[in-house]
Amino acid sequence: MDTLKDADLCAIAVIPGLYISDRFGARSQFLLRSHNIKYVLSATCEQDVPRWDETTLTKISTMHLDIDDHPMQDILCYLKQACDWIHAALEEKPDGTDPQKPVGVLVHCVQGISRSGAIVVAYLMRYHSLPIRMHSRWPGSTDRS
């Protein structure tokens, strides 16, 4: 059934080159190439880590955080390591093929919502001073002040 899902990547508008997706987007070699993805952070259990061919594996650096898709899973212990890895990856200069296109970094989890979203928000807070209250401006959020 996995092949029936249309894969897509969602760009993080304020950070060129940073993307978020579910497991289907992370498996799409076409999407990885078209968005110049050179780094993939998988916040999943082992079975949901993308399996690519040898050619793709030599072009992509990966980080795997063995995190279960469970609401009680504590991800706090992974956030500093993940944020530092994302930041270092985004600092890489574009390669010679298209110097205008930034190096792409993809953060994914199973559904592309909770764990990957939490990691990206933690990165924005740590490296771009996104205030914790900023969430109240996002569509669908509720201001609980």
8 Å CB contact between 63 and 41: yes
Is the residue at 105 inside a domain?
yes
CA 69, distance to chain mean position in Å, is 15
Write the DSSP string, 71-113: TT---HHHHHHHHHHHHHHHTSPP-TT-TTSPPEEEEE-SSSS
> pLDDT digit string (tens) for 105-130?
999 999 988 999 999 999 999 999 88
Is the residue at 142 inside a domain?
no
What's the domain count of the chain?
1
Is the residue at 144 inside a domain?
no
Average pLDDT rounded to a whole number, residues 9-15: 81
Q: What is the CATH number for 102?
A: 3.90.190.10
What CA–CA distance (Å, rounded) separates 50 from 20? Answer: 14
Share of the chain above pLDDT 90, in %: 51
> pLDDT digit string (tens) for 16-44?
999 999 999 999 989 998 999 999 999 99
Active site residues: 109
Is the residue at 43 inside a domain?
yes
Is the residue at 7 inside a domain?
yes
Is the residue at 112 inside a domain?
yes
Choice between 16 and 135, residue whose per-residue pLDDT is larger = 16
- For residue 76, the enclosing domain spans 2-137
